[in-house]
Amino acid sequence: MSQKVDLEALEKMPLDQLQKIVQDLQRDLKNASHFVNEQEEELKLQQQTIDELQAKLDQANDNDRMNLATELADEQDSYQFLNETLVGQRQNLREREAILSQHSSVMRQRQGVASGDGQEDNKIDLKPILVQVEKQLQQQTQELQRLEQEIEQIIARLKQNQEMINHQADEQEMKRQELQSLEQNLRLLQAAMAECWGRVNLYQEMLQPSQDSLARLQQKLEAIASTLEQEKQTGNYQLQTIDELRSSLFSVMPNPEFAVS
């Protein structure tokens, strides 16, 4: 809020006291201007940091975008806080300048100096600074709006990716349960197969005596068959011999009645 200057009191106070007040006001305004300028420089540095983070965010992958977006949002909050603080400080500078101008005007009048003479020496022109600040503020407002939209898009993409991850997790859980079921079935089959092999081994043990008896019987049959084959061959040989003898007898005996029947 602007302070009201008591011009009548300034007209009545001693000139040297008024000069002292004007000097104090000039010094305070200079210090305040210096402080505001430092804050403005800090605001520019924060803007550079925001621009650098934005450049990194534009080129970052999905894994880094969330951290960069959070860091960028923090820097933007700091920038906005400092800028809002500077709004009040700029207003304070304008009020100080107005108060100094009124005091200086009364002092020059009492000194007999024309109102225009030396005024520029005591007045600090804040208009270029304010114009630049307002321009920067407008640019930053537009940039903040753009960044907010981009952050919303990033959040939407992250949400979509999270939903996809959840879906994949559900599918993996289903596959895991299916695999567990297959493993259980495999264990049951292995147990059944082991039981079957046990029965097969038992049957083999039970059939082994019969198989041994059959093997011995087969050997005997093969021996008998061999003997019969030998006897058959011997019988055939004897028959052949008899036939040869008969043929010899028929050849030497002219009368057929002597033939052996």
Locate 151 and state its tokens: 């952050």
Give the Cβ contact number of residue 29 at 10 Å: 20
Gap between the Cα atoms of 100 and 92, Å rounded:
12
Q: Are 25 and 121 in contact (CB under 8 A)?
A: no
pLDDT at 254: 57
Q: What percent of the chain has pLDDT over 70?
A: 84
Give the confidence band of 247 by pLDDT, cuts at 50, 70, 90. Answer: confident
Give the Cβ contact number of residue 100 at 10 Å: 21
Q: How far is CA 222 from CA 112, 164, 216, in A?
A: 158, 79, 10
pLDDT at 167: 84
- pLDDT, one tens digit per residue, over 88-112 is 888 888 888 888 888 888 888 888 7
Gap between the Cα atoms of 143 and 60, Å rounded:
19
pLDDT at 120 over 50: no
Comparing CA positions, the residue from 22, 224, 231 lying closest to residue 122 is: 22
Q: What are the residue ranges spanned by the domains of the chain?
A: 7-182, 225-261
Identify which has the larger pLDDT, 151 or 137.
151
Query: What is 7-182's CATH topology?
Result: Helix Hairpins (1.10.287)
Q: Is the pTM of this model over 0.85?
A: no
Mean pLDDT along residues 204-223: 81
Secondary structure of residue 253 in the 3-state scheme? coil
Gap between the Cα atoms of 229 and 235, Å rounded:
10
